[in-house]
C-alpha cells in the first residue's frame, strides 16, 4: 500500500534514543528466577479513534513509531476503527480483527481464532510464539456506567457509586471469562498460557489498597480486578511494580491531565510456566502522543517450574513503629534489620501510617520501597493523625488483600489476610495477627477463635504468624496447635520479649494444613535494639502437590 505519510527516517536515531530513555525511567525487573530465556513482549493500547484524532495519517504513523520502538510482539488494540490493517502492514505484523473496535496485531503467525462474546468487546487468537509454543491471546474492551474520571463526578461519588459505575465492566468481564473457559475447555489447550489484555474502564483493588490510601483517599475492592484474581489471572504491571505510585501507574489520561489519573488498562496472564519480569508504560512521543490512553508493555518469560523452589523463608516481627530500645524512632534501622532477615515474607506488627508520633511517615510504603517488596496493611484504628495496625512485606506478588475483623479487646483488632503467588506459581495464604495484650485472655482467646475458624475453612495452604501476646501451652497457643504445625524454636533461645533481655515467647509462626508443609530452622534472631521484640524466622517447605 502506497504511503503518503511523513518520512520519519531523518530522526530515527533521535526517536530510538528517546524511547530507550523513556522506557528505562519506568521499568523495574523482578527478582530473578530460573528461566529458559524464551520471552514474549505483550502490549495493550487503546489508540483513540483509530489513532486519527490528530490527523488521519500522522496519528497512525505515531502509533506505528511507538509500537515499533517498544519491541512489542503481541498487541491488544482497542478503538482500532479502520487503522489496524495499515498499522499492522507498516509493522510487518499479522492482523486479526473482529468488528470495528478490538483487534490483535501479532509478530507471529495466528494459528486459530479463539474469539468469544460480542465482537465489539472481545477478540481472541491462538498465536505461535517461538521457543514458547501456542499462546491464547485475548484483547478486550469493557464499558462503564458513569464517567467517574471527571473530577466533578468523582467528588460526588461515594464508594457505592464508584463501584456502581464499573458494574457494566464487571458484568461483561464475568461473561467473557466464562466464555473463554468454555472455549479453551478442550484438553489440547490445557497447558496453553492465556493472556487477557485491554481497556477495562475500571481500576484495581491492588492499587486502591490501604497502604496507598494517601494517594487515592479510600480503599475499594474493584470488582473487575477481583474477578481476574479469582480466575487466577495475574496483573503483570502490579506484579513487577510492588509499590503503588499513582503518577507512574496511571494509563488514563495523557491527553486529559485535568481528569482523575487512573490505571484502567491491564495485561493479565495465567500460565504455569510464565512469569512477568518487566513492565513499562508508554505515554509520550517527541511530537504529540496520539492517544488518550497510555500503552502498557509487559515482558513475559518462560520459567522452569520443575526446579522452582517451594522453600519459603518467613519472619514475623513486632517493630514497635520503628521505636527502638534506645527510645529513638529510626525506621532506616528497622529497614536494615528487615533486610538482614533475608526473608521472603515478613509479618509486621505495631505499624504506623501517617501517625504524628512517628513523623507522619507511611511506614509500610517506606519499608516496601527499601526492600523492593509488595506491601499490605491492616488498620486497627485511626490514631494521632494517621492509622495504626499491622503489615506484611512479600517478595512474591500479592493477588488479594483483606482485613478480617476480630472481636474488640482493649483496642480494635483485625487479622491481615494476603494471598500470594510463589515462584512455582502455587498460591499461599498468609494471615498476620496481633492479639490483645492484657493478662486476662478473654479478649485474646475470642480473637484467636475467629482466626482459627477462618483458617479451618481455607482451601489454600496457609501461614499464620504474628504477635500472639501469649506463651506456649496457653489456651490461645493450644487452639492453633490442635490443627497446625508450629515452627519450634531451639529450647534455650525461645524468648522474643523484651528484646534486650527476652524472657517471654509470644511471637510465633504456624502453618497448615499439616499434610502440606514441613518446617525447619526456626530461630529467634538476636536483635536487641531495633524494637522491644526480637524477630522470629523459619524455613518452610511446601510439599509437592
Helix-helix angle 58-70:12-24, to 10 degrees: 60
What is the distance between the alpha carbons of residues 105 and 281, in angstroms, rounded to a whole number? 19
What is the distance between the alpha carbons of residues 323 and 325, in angstroms, rounded to a whole number? 7
Tens of pLDDT, residue by residue over 416-449, are 999 999 888 889 999 999 999 999 999 999 999 9
Query: 33-42, 291-300, 330-339, 390-399: lowest mean pLDDT where?
Result: 33-42
- Give the phi and the psi of residue 43 in degrees, each rounded to 5: -125, 145
Average pLDDT over residues 157-162: 94
All cell numbers assigned to 90: 507498516
Three-state DSSP at 467 gives: strand
- Residue 413 in this model has a pLDDT that exceeds 50: yes
Res 307: pLDDT: 56
What is the distance between the alpha carbons of residues 222 and 258, in angstroms, rounded to a whole number? 23
Domains of the chain: 9-303 (3.60.10.10), 311-542 (3.60.10.10)
* Residue whose C-alpha is closest to residue 3's, from 75, 44, 60, 54: 60
What is the distance between the alpha carbons of residues 392 and 269, in angstroms, rounded to a whole number? 24
Res 35: pLDDT: 55
* Residue whose C-alpha is closest to residue 538's, from 348, 336, 346, 334: 346
If pLDDT is split at 50, 70 and 90, which confidence band does 21 have? very low
Largest CA distance in the chain: 84
User: Can you give the pTM of this predicted structure?
Assistant: 0.91
Instruction: Look up residue 357 and give its DSSP letter.
Output: G
> 425: exposed, middle or buried (C-beta count within 10 Å: 0-12, 13-18, 19+)?
middle
Tens of pLDDT, residue by residue over 435-491, are 999 999 999 999 999 999 999 999 999 999 999 999 999 999 999 999 999 999 988
* Residue whose C-alpha is closest to residue 296's, from 104, 51, 43: 43
Amino acid at each position: 500500500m502506497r504511503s503518503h505519510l511523513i518520512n520519519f527516517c531523518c530522526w530515527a536515531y533521535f526517536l530510538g534514543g528517546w524511547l530507550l530513555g523513556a522506557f528505562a525511567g519506568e521499568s523495574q525487573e523482578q527478582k530473578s528466577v530460573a528461566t529458559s530465556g524464551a520471552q514474549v513482549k505483550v502490549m495493550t493500547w487503546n489508540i483513540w479513534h483509530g489513532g486519527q484524532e490528530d490527523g488521519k495519517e500522522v496519528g497512525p504513523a505515531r502509533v506505528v513509531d511507538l509500537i515499533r520502538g517498544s519491541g512489542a510482539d503481541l498487541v491488544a488494540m482497542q478503538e482500532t476503527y479502520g487503522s489496524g490493517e495499515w498499522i499492522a502492514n507498516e509493522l510487518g505484523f499479522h492482523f486479526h480483527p473482529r468488528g470495528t473496535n478490538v483487534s490483535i496485531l501479532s509478530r507471529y503467525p495466528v494459528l486459530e481464532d479463539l474469539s468469544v462474546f460480542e465482537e465489539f468487546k472481545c477478540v481472541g487468537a491462538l498465536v505461535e510464539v517461538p521457543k514458547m509454543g501456542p499462546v491464547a491471546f485475548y484483547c478486550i474492551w469493557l464499558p462503564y456506567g458513569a464517567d467517574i474520571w471527571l473530577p466533578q463526578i468523582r467528588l460526588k461519588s461515594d464508594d457505592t457509586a464508584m463501584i456502581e459505575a464499573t458494574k457494566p465492566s464487571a458484568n461483561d468481564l464475568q461473561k467473557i471469562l466464562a466464555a473463554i473457559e468454555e472455549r479453551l475447555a478442550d484438553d489440547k489447550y490445557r497447558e496453553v498460557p492465556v493472556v487477557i489484555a485491554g481497556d477495562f474502564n475500571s481500576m484495581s483493588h491492588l492499587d486502591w489498597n490501604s497502604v496507598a490510601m494517601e494517594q487515592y483517599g479510600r480503599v475499594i475492592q474493584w470488582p473487575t480486578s477481583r474477578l481476574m484474581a479469582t480466575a487466577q489471572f495475574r496483573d503483570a504491571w502490579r506484579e513487577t511494580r510492588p509499590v503503588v505510585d499513582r503518577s507512574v501507574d496511571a494509563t488514563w489520561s495523557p491527553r486529559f491531565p485535568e481528569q482523575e489519573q487512573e490505571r484502567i488498562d491491564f495485561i493479565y496472564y495465567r500460565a504455569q510456566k510464565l512469569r512477568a519480569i518487566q513492565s513499562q508504560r508508554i505515554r509520550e512521543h517527541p511530537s504529540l502522543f496520539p492517544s488518550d490512553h497510555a500503552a502498557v508493555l509487559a515482558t513475559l518469560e518462560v520459567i522452569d517450574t520443575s526446579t522452582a523452589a517451594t522453600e519459603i523463608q518467613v519472619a514475623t516481627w513486632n517493630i514497635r513503629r520503628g521505636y527502638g530500645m534506645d527510645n529513638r524512632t529510626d525506621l532506616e534501622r528497622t529497614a536494615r534489620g528487615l533486610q538482614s532477615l533475608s526473608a521472603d515474607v515478613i509479618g509486621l506488627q505495631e505499624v504506623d501510617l501517617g501517625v504524628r508520633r512517628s513523623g507522619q511517615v507511611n511506614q509500610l510504603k517506606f519499608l516496601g520501597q527499601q526492600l523492593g517488596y509488595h506491601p499490605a496493611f491492616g488498620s486497627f484504628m485511626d490514631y494521632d493523625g494517621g492509622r495504626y495496625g499491622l503489615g506484611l512485606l512479600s517478595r512474591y506478588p500479592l493477588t488479594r488483600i483483606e482485613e478480617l475483623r476480630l472481636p474488640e479487646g482493649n483496642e480494635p483488632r483485625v487479622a491481615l489476610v494476603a494471598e500470594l503467588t510463589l515462584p512455582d506459581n502455587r498460591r499461599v495464604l498468609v494471615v498476620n495477627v496481633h492479639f490483645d495484650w492484657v493478662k486476662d485472655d478473654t479478649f485474646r482467646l475470642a480473637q484467636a477463635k475467629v482466626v482459627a475458624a477462618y483458617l479451618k475453612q481455607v482451601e489454600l495452604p496457609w501461614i499464620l504468624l504474628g504477635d500472639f501476646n501469649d506463651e506456649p501451652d496457653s489456651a490461645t497457643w493450644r487452639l492453633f496447635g490442635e490443627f497446625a504445625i508450629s515452627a519450634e524454636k531451639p529450647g534455650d533461645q525461645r524468648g522474643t520479649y523484651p528484646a534486650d533481655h527476652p524472657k517471654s515467647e509470644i511471637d510465633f509462626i504456624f502453618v497448615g494444613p499439616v499434610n502440606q508443609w514441613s518446617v525447619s530452622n526456626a530461630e529467634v534472631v538476636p536483635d536487641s535494639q531495633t524494637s522491644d521484640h526480637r524477630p522470629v524466622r523459619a524455613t518452610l517447605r511446601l510439599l509437592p502437590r
